[in-house]
Amino acid sequence: MKNSNHKISTYLALVSLGMFLIACNNKSTSDKSEEMVEVNATEKSDVLNEKEFKQVMQKHLDAVSNRDLKSLGETMDPNGLMQLILPKTEIINGVEGFMDYHKEWFADSTWTFETKILNTAIGQDMGMAITEIVYREPERKPEPYFNRMIVSYDLKKIEGKWYIIKDHASSIEKSTDPK
Protein backbone atom coordinates (compact mmCIF):
# COMPACT_ATOMS: atom_id res chain seq x y z
CA MET A 1 0.00 0.00 0.00
CA LYS A 2 2.85 2.27 0.89
CA ASN A 3 4.42 1.71 -2.53
CA SER A 4 1.06 2.36 -4.21
CA ASN A 5 0.59 5.65 -2.32
CA HIS A 6 4.09 6.69 -3.31
CA LYS A 7 3.32 5.93 -6.97
CA ILE A 8 0.10 7.94 -6.80
CA SER A 9 1.87 10.84 -5.07
CA THR A 10 4.63 10.79 -7.67
CA TYR A 11 2.06 10.57 -10.47
CA LEU A 12 0.07 13.51 -9.05
CA ALA A 13 3.27 15.54 -8.59
CA LEU A 14 4.28 14.88 -12.20
CA VAL A 15 0.79 15.73 -13.49
CA SER A 16 0.81 18.94 -11.43
CA LEU A 17 4.28 19.83 -12.69
CA GLY A 18 3.18 19.14 -16.27
CA MET A 19 0.06 21.29 -15.90
CA PHE A 20 2.17 24.04 -14.34
CA LEU A 21 4.65 23.94 -17.24
CA ILE A 22 1.83 23.94 -19.80
CA ALA A 23 0.22 26.91 -18.03
CA CYS A 24 3.56 28.75 -17.98
CA ASN A 25 4.10 28.00 -21.66
CA ASN A 26 0.59 29.19 -22.55
CA LYS A 27 1.13 32.39 -20.56
CA SER A 28 4.45 32.90 -22.29
CA THR A 29 2.81 32.30 -25.69
CA SER A 30 -0.02 34.64 -24.71
CA ASP A 31 2.47 37.30 -23.60
CA LYS A 32 4.37 36.89 -26.88
CA SER A 33 1.12 37.22 -28.84
CA GLU A 34 0.27 40.42 -26.96
CA GLU A 35 3.78 41.74 -27.57
CA MET A 36 3.48 40.94 -31.28
CA VAL A 37 0.13 42.72 -31.44
CA GLU A 38 1.73 45.74 -29.74
CA VAL A 39 4.70 45.65 -32.14
CA ASN A 40 2.38 45.32 -35.15
CA ALA A 41 0.22 48.20 -33.89
CA THR A 42 3.33 50.33 -33.36
CA GLU A 43 4.66 49.45 -36.82
CA LYS A 44 1.29 50.31 -38.39
CA SER A 45 1.24 53.58 -36.44
CA ASP A 46 4.78 54.39 -37.60
CA VAL A 47 3.91 53.57 -41.21
CA LEU A 48 0.80 55.77 -41.06
CA ASN A 49 2.76 58.58 -39.37
CA GLU A 50 5.42 58.45 -42.11
CA LYS A 51 2.78 58.36 -44.85
CA GLU A 52 0.97 61.40 -43.43
CA PHE A 53 4.28 63.27 -43.01
CA LYS A 54 5.30 62.63 -46.62
CA GLN A 55 1.84 63.57 -47.91
CA VAL A 56 2.03 66.98 -46.21
CA MET A 57 5.59 67.46 -47.44
CA GLN A 58 4.60 66.61 -51.03
CA LYS A 59 1.50 68.81 -50.81
CA HIS A 60 3.72 71.69 -49.72
CA LEU A 61 6.22 71.15 -52.56
CA ASP A 62 3.41 70.79 -55.11
CA ALA A 63 1.76 73.96 -53.81
CA VAL A 64 4.96 75.92 -54.46
CA SER A 65 5.48 74.33 -57.89
CA ASN A 66 1.86 75.15 -58.83
CA ARG A 67 1.83 78.61 -57.19
CA ASP A 68 -1.14 77.46 -55.09
CA LEU A 69 -1.39 79.78 -52.07
CA LYS A 70 -4.47 78.04 -50.66
CA SER A 71 -2.82 74.59 -50.54
CA LEU A 72 0.42 76.14 -49.31
CA GLY A 73 -1.44 77.79 -46.43
CA GLU A 74 -2.98 74.43 -45.49
CA THR A 75 0.50 73.05 -44.80
CA MET A 76 1.37 75.89 -42.41
CA ASP A 77 1.32 75.76 -38.61
CA PRO A 78 -2.13 76.95 -37.43
CA ASN A 79 -0.41 78.71 -34.51
CA GLY A 80 1.66 80.87 -36.87
CA LEU A 81 5.05 79.28 -36.11
CA MET A 82 7.29 79.43 -39.20
CA GLN A 83 10.81 80.39 -40.22
CA LEU A 84 11.91 80.90 -43.80
CA ILE A 85 15.69 81.00 -44.16
CA LEU A 86 17.04 81.93 -47.60
CA PRO A 87 20.59 82.67 -48.76
CA LYS A 88 21.69 86.27 -48.20
CA THR A 89 18.36 87.15 -46.58
CA GLU A 90 17.31 87.82 -43.00
CA ILE A 91 15.03 85.19 -41.46
CA ILE A 92 11.36 85.67 -42.31
CA ASN A 93 9.40 84.74 -39.18
CA GLY A 94 5.81 83.61 -38.92
CA VAL A 95 3.27 82.13 -41.31
CA GLU A 96 2.05 85.59 -42.32
CA GLY A 97 5.53 86.66 -43.43
CA PHE A 98 6.05 83.34 -45.22
CA MET A 99 2.74 83.65 -47.08
CA ASP A 100 3.39 87.31 -48.00
CA TYR A 101 6.75 86.35 -49.45
CA HIS A 102 5.18 83.57 -51.53
CA LYS A 103 2.24 85.69 -52.66
CA GLU A 104 4.67 88.20 -54.15
CA TRP A 105 6.87 85.46 -55.64
CA PHE A 106 3.89 83.56 -57.12
CA ALA A 107 2.81 86.69 -59.03
CA ASP A 108 5.71 85.99 -61.40
CA SER A 109 4.67 83.15 -63.69
CA THR A 110 7.94 82.76 -65.60
CA TRP A 111 9.68 80.31 -63.27
CA THR A 112 9.52 76.57 -62.70
CA PHE A 113 10.27 74.58 -59.57
CA GLU A 114 11.32 70.90 -59.75
CA THR A 115 11.37 69.04 -56.44
CA LYS A 116 12.58 65.75 -55.08
CA ILE A 117 12.49 64.49 -51.48
CA LEU A 118 15.94 63.04 -50.78
CA ASN A 119 15.45 61.76 -47.23
CA THR A 120 13.43 62.16 -44.07
CA ALA A 121 13.77 61.63 -40.34
CA ILE A 122 10.35 61.29 -38.75
CA GLY A 123 9.55 61.11 -35.05
CA GLN A 124 6.17 61.01 -33.37
CA ASP A 125 5.75 64.80 -33.15
CA MET A 126 8.69 66.30 -35.08
CA GLY A 127 10.29 65.44 -38.37
CA MET A 128 12.51 66.82 -41.07
CA ALA A 129 12.87 66.37 -44.78
CA ILE A 130 15.80 67.13 -47.05
CA THR A 131 14.86 68.03 -50.61
CA GLU A 132 16.60 68.92 -53.82
CA ILE A 133 14.98 71.75 -55.72
CA VAL A 134 15.85 73.17 -59.10
CA TYR A 135 14.45 76.65 -59.67
CA ARG A 136 14.50 77.87 -63.27
CA GLU A 137 13.75 81.12 -65.04
CA PRO A 138 14.01 80.11 -68.70
CA GLU A 139 13.11 83.58 -70.00
CA ARG A 140 15.51 85.57 -67.83
CA LYS A 141 17.71 88.00 -69.78
CA PRO A 142 20.45 88.09 -70.80
CA GLU A 143 20.36 84.28 -70.41
CA PRO A 144 18.21 81.61 -68.72
CA TYR A 145 18.74 81.19 -64.98
CA PHE A 146 18.75 78.15 -62.71
CA ASN A 147 19.45 77.59 -59.04
CA ARG A 148 19.93 74.04 -57.71
CA MET A 149 19.28 74.02 -53.99
CA ILE A 150 19.14 71.72 -51.02
CA VAL A 151 16.21 72.72 -48.85
CA SER A 152 15.54 71.31 -45.39
CA TYR A 153 12.08 71.41 -43.89
CA ASP A 154 11.08 70.89 -40.28
CA LEU A 155 7.56 69.66 -39.61
CA LYS A 156 5.67 69.53 -36.34
CA LYS A 157 2.64 67.41 -35.52
CA ILE A 158 -0.14 69.47 -33.96
CA GLU A 159 -3.37 67.81 -32.87
CA GLY A 160 -2.58 64.78 -35.01
CA LYS A 161 -1.65 66.64 -38.21
CA TRP A 162 1.75 67.55 -39.69
CA TYR A 163 2.63 71.17 -40.48
CA ILE A 164 5.69 72.90 -41.94
CA ILE A 165 7.45 75.12 -39.38
CA LYS A 166 10.82 75.75 -41.04
CA ASP A 167 12.13 76.07 -44.59
CA HIS A 168 15.89 76.51 -44.92
CA ALA A 169 17.31 76.81 -48.44
CA SER A 170 20.95 76.50 -49.46
CA SER A 171 22.12 77.15 -53.01
CA ILE A 172 24.42 74.47 -54.39
CA GLU A 173 24.85 75.62 -57.97
CA LYS A 174 23.53 78.62 -59.88
CA SER A 175 23.87 79.62 -63.50
CA THR A 176 25.29 82.94 -62.30
CA ASP A 177 28.14 81.31 -60.31
CA PRO A 178 31.62 82.29 -61.51
CA LYS A 179 32.95 79.66 -63.86
pLDDT given at position 8:
63
pLDDT given at position 43:
74
Number of domains in the chain: 1
Q: Is residue 102 part of a domain?
A: yes
Q: Is residue 9 part of a domain?
A: no
pLDDT given at position 10:
58
Q: Is residue 60 part of a domain?
A: yes
Q: Is residue 121 part of a domain?
A: yes
CATH assignment of the domain containing 121: 3.10.450.50
3-state SS class at 94: helix
What DSSP line would sit under 19-62, residue for residue? HHHHHHHHHHHHHHHHHHHHHHHHHHHHHHHHHHHHHHHHHHHH
* Domain of residue 74, residue span: 33-174
Q: List per-residue pLDDT tens for the chain, 179 residues long.
A: 555 555 666 555 555 555 555 555 555 555 555 665 565 766 768 889 999 999 999 999 999 999 999 999 999 999 999 999 999 999 999 999 999 999 999 999 999 999 999 999 999 999 999 999 999 999 999 999 999 999 999 999 999 999 999 999 999 999 999 88
Name beta bridge partners: 117.
Answer: 131
